[in-house]
Each structure stands twice: as C-alpha cells, then as structure tokens.
Amino acid sequence: MTVPVVREELVVTKRPVIKEELRIKRKVVEEEELIDVDLRKEEVDIEDTSGSARGV
C-alpha cells in the first residue's frame, strides 16, 4: 500500500494586470486669423543723369 505524502507550499508572484486603458487620438486643427499689421515698403527710382545708357 502506498500513501502519498503531500505538503502545501505558498507561491507568491507578481504579474502585470491592466488597470485601465487610455485611447489617444490626434486631431489636426487649422485656423485662419486676420491681423492688421503696418508693413514697411520702400521704392527706389534711379535716374541716369550722366547721359550714358548701359545695357540698352
């Protein structure tokens, strides 16, 4: 006759468990905005007073 001898053994382990889930979405937003800005503009008029015409 055979009698099995057993014992209890405590096994403690750690494992990752999902606590919560996050959903991340990316949304592209374009905006147009009108802005009043003073711009500086310069114009130059050159007058040839020497009487010689170059390149013409």
pTM over 0.85: no
**pLDDT score at 54:** 59
Q: Which of 39, 36, 56 has its CA nearest to residue 48?
A: 56
DSSP conformational letter for 54: S
**pLDDT score at 13:** 94
Report the half-sphere exposure of 55 (CA within 13 A, side-chain side): 1
pLDDT tens digits along 3-42: 989 999 999 999 999 999 999 999 999 999 998 888 888 8
Between CA 51 and CA 44 the distance in angstroms is 19
**pLDDT score at 52:** 65
**pLDDT score at 30:** 94
Between CA 50 and CA 56 the distance in angstroms is 14
What confidence tier does 45 reach under pLDDT thresholds 50, 70, 90?
A: confident
